[in-house]
Amino acid sequence: MITIKDVAKHAGVSVSTVSYVLSGKRPISTATSQRVRHSIHELGFHPNAGARALASSRTNVLALVVPLRTDLNLPVIMEFVASIVTAARAHDYHVLLLTKESEADEVHRVTASARADAVIVMDVEARDPRLPALRELDVPVVLIGVPADPTGLSCVDLDFTASGARTVEHLAGLGHRSVGLIGSPPPVYERRTGYATRFRSGVTKSARKRGVTVHISPCAPTYAALSENLDSLLRPELGITGLVVHNEAVLADVVLELRRRNKRVPEDISVIALCPDPVAATQPVPLTSIAIPADEVGAIAVEMLMRGLAGEQPAEVRLLAPALTDRGSTVTAPSTADR
Amino acid sequence: MITIKDVAKHAGVSVSTVSYVLSGKRPISTATSQRVRHSIHELGFHPNAGARALASSRTNVLALVVPLRTDLNLPVIMEFVASIVTAARAHDYHVLLLTKESEADEVHRVTASARADAVIVMDVEARDPRLPALRELDVPVVLIGVPADPTGLSCVDLDFTASGARTVEHLAGLGHRSVGLIGSPPPVYERRTGYATRFRSGVTKSARKRGVTVHISPCAPTYAALSENLDSLLRPELGITGLVVHNEAVLADVVLELRRRNKRVPEDISVIALCPDPVAATQPVPLTSIAIPADEVGAIAVEMLMRGLAGEQPAEVRLLAPALTDRGSTVTAPSTADR
DNA sequence: TCCTGGAGGTGAAACGTTTCAATTTCTCGG
DNA sequence: CCGAGAAATTGAAACGTTTCACCTCCAGGA
């Protein structure tokens, strides 16, 4: 194995000089610097991560707690993970994968043994039992999602309340007076995973303000459940002309089922979804949607951690403003006469 | 921070004794051992991972290369990842997440800098460009999936050839004489990702042997593509009475579409799938299927690595025999008269 | 009785970096 | 041409483990 000593010898400088060339923490003359870099390259030197961690008490690793329950919204999770890994790499950080299922103190062990410098936790619930333990950690922590009481913790997420409001405003602006919300599965509301509830409250609040009637219908992630939901939402007496879908698992089926029932999108019914852009764009009918900006969230989470590691970043809750993309699945509401 | 020295002092023994208690590499009297353990617990000692790695040249970390392309079969990937993390934890190993997208030499950097002791690579293609680099690594490597030329590399995967054959034999055994295969998306065959091709060849070979006609129809992961596929497969002149589905993205839609076309499963047409058990079981009609045994594959992969790290495990290709679960979606073929 | 060998324990030398403090080498104003 | 300070470089002390080599006991075979 080839060490920093070998490099120093090869370049005719001291070990510390090589170290400073690598870290840039001290000015080094360009001549020396080039000679050293050349030697590094020539010898194929890779600094030993363990030794580095020991000497500098920095591992350049961040721990990522991922919910690996398969029932969950995989594509979104994957996007988050991908964006986090990418953002981390951009800061020369690696990602250690922890699963939510491992015992609660796994995160503690990982930081206590100096395996990671910081922690990102995905899929936090409103009153997540891990919260107290996370507050105890002496490393920076960023949550993706916002718990009921975020004091002392940094969080980043889409602003679901604003997103809910935005969907209704969009439809109201097009003249829709009665809309349906196909929501997350009931257990998600019960777990009070925060985001589902917040989205819903954004929807209802905005509906009240705009004088729109809204029919809320949580929906299990199965074809049968969806079918029932639509049965009930499409009863003519409700006069629903617009549909808000916050349930990725059944999103594809919604479009299929509407078609099956001879409801054309958007001529007969407008549909707007909350989901990642790629998903909205690849539906049989491209859907107007509010994006779940996984990339941005991941990048921001990493950014916050880096600031936390550097100077002192006070705990902060960052809510991202919703961005609506019109893909033509929402149009002016059919006039009452048409119905 | 609390170190092994503190523990030693607290327990009234030497540092090396504490280390031996922890590692069990030397006999220690139960009295001493208990005293030390007690001190460890009392002080909340967690050995510093970096120092450990440096002294022992073991990181207790394995690198996992995951394809994070969202187009891919997410649930399966997630299951693999979950099972690998679990298996790794059982061996006191942690998992460092690398994405396939990062440059090819990322794996090399990670091992060269002693960040990981071993590597698992998921989603290897038949002639994967990373293969030569992987062979060069001086750490144990296990591939999930089997490339065209696996010499020098350990691999583990479901036996797709046998699986393909098994589906046909199952249907043939029930009297079906003409079956359709809804295959992976065309690009998957073109990339020659191995498994798709092997499954198909298992199907055709077995079909020939059993005198069954098989109509192969690769299918893009969209509703439209599936619809066309079924249009063509269900032409009455083909007389297809059984369907093999090796395409998870459209699996749900297959069942829906058959229903829409008034083909009952299994009365009018038998359906058998290749997919993870949970997926097969949660379809509108539970499907007879051959499982993709993610758990087992993950556990075996980790097992192989551990043996590689310990003594010398020669490179080995492990193909798992297919397990078929009958969930009632396949029945005796309707007699010719019925059609 | 002596010797052998294993069990139980210890001190100190690695392991490969970073970084502090000290030293040498420059640059430039007076 | 000197001296002061800045710039560049260096030596050596950490960092917290593991593990080798050594030491002391004590049991039991000859």
> How confident is the model over A89-101, as pLDDT tens digits?
999 999 999 987 7
Q: Is the per-residue pLDDT at A269 higher than 50?
A: yes
Q: Look up the pTM and report it.
A: 0.91
The predicted model gives A58-71 an average pLDDT of 87
Torsion of CA A132, A137, A140, A141, to 10 degrees: -30
Mean pLDDT for the stretch of residues A205-214:
96
Distance in angstroms (rounded) separating the CA atoms of residues B86 and B96: 13
What pLDDT score does A192 carry?
65
Check whether B339 has a pLDDT greater than 90.
no
Q: Give the model's confidence band at B336: pLDDT under 50 very low, under 70 low, under 90 confident, else very high.
A: low
Of B78, B94, B95, the CB nearest to A70: B78
Is residue A336 predicted with pLDDT exceeding 60? no
Instruction: Output DSSP code: residue B337.
Output: G
Question: What DSSP designation does B321 have?
Answer: P
Write down the pLDDT at residue A337: 42
Contact A96 B94 (CB under 8 A): yes
Q: Which nucleotides of C are covered by protein (CB under 7 A)?
A: 7-12, 14-21
Per-range mean pLDDT, top range of A248-252, A296-300, B237-241: A296-300
pLDDT of residue B303: 96
CA of B25: nucleotide with nearest C1': D19
**Residue A53 near chain B (CB below 8 Å):** yes
The torsion angles phi and psi of A154, rounded to 5 degrees, stand at: -90, 140
Residues of B in contact with A112 (CB under 8 A): 44, 46
Measuring CA to CA, which residue among B183, B88, B73, B187 is closest to residue B123? B73
Query: How many angstroms separate the CA atoms of B163 and B169, rounded?
Result: 10
Residue type, B128: D
Predicted confidence at residue B125, as pLDDT, reads 84
With both helix axes pointing from N to C terminus, report the angle between B248-260 and B223-233 in degrees, rounded to the nearest 10: 60
Name the closest nucleotide to A23, judged by C1' and CA.
C18
Please report the number of interchain residue pairs, chain A to chain B, with beta-carbon separation below 8 angstroms. 129
Model confidence pLDDT, tens digit, residues B139-181: 999 999 999 899 989 999 999 999 999 999 999 999 999 999 9
B307 has pLDDT over 50: yes
Of B65, B164, B175, give the one whose Cα is nearest residue B109: B65
Res. A166 pLDDT band, cuts 50 70 90: very high
Strands of the sheet containing A270-274, edge to edge, are A213-218, A178-183, A242-245, A270-274, A288-290, A324-325
Residue intervals in chain B for CATH 1.10.260.40: 1-46
| Chain A interface test: which of B1, B7, B48, B91 (most A C-beta within 10 Å) | B48
Looking at residue A335, its pLDDT comes to 67
Asked if residue A238 keeps its beta carbon closer than 7 A to nucleic acid strand D, the reply is no
What is the reported pLDDT for A339?
Answer: 43
Residues of chain B with pLDDT > 90: what percent? 71
CATH class name, domain A1-46: mainly alpha
- Nucleotide nearest the Cα atom of B14 (by C1'): C10
Q: Do A78 and B86 touch (CB under 8 A)?
A: no
A56 at the B interface (CB within 8 A)? no
Q: Most B CBs within 10 Å: which of A43, A85, A91, as the mutation test of the B interface? A: A85
Give, as one character, the DSSP assignment of residue A256: H
- Sole residue written with tokens 């249907």: B171
Cα separation, A201 vs A175, whole angstroms: 21
The pLDDT mean for chain B works out to 91
For residues B5-25, one letter each, b for 16 or more C-beta atoms within 10 angstroms of the residue's C-beta and e for the rest, the string is: ebbbebbebeeebbbbbbeee
Measuring from the CA of residue A29 to each C1' atom, give the nucleotide at the shortest distance. D8
Mean pLDDT of B211-231: 89
Q: CA-to-CA distance for B281 and B291, rounded, in angstroms?
A: 11
Give the residue with minimal CA–C1' separation from D10.
Answer: A14
Per-residue pLDDT tens digits for B14-39: 999 999 999 999 999 999 999 999 99
Task: Write down the pLDDT at residue A32.
Answer: 92
**Which CATH code of 3.40.50.720, 3.90.180.10, 3.40.50.2300, 3.40.190.10 fits the domain covering B160-292?**
3.40.50.2300
Highest mean pLDDT (candidates A122-126, B265-269, B323-327, B330-334): B323-327
Q: Integer distance in angstroms from CA B271 to C1' C11?
A: 71
User: D15 C1' – B271 CA distance, angstroms?
Assistant: 63
The answer to whether A63 and B71 are in contact (CB under 8 A) is: no
Closest by CA to B305, choosing from B113, B32, B124, B63, is B63
Mean pLDDT of chain A: 91
**Of the candidates B56, B47, B154, which has an alpha carbon nearest to the alpha carbon of residue B114?**
B56
First to last CA, chain B: 78
| Nearest to A276, CA basis, from A126, A68, A123, A73 | A73
- CATH 3.40.50.2300 maps onto chain A at 160-292
Higher per-residue confidence, A117 vs B311:
A117
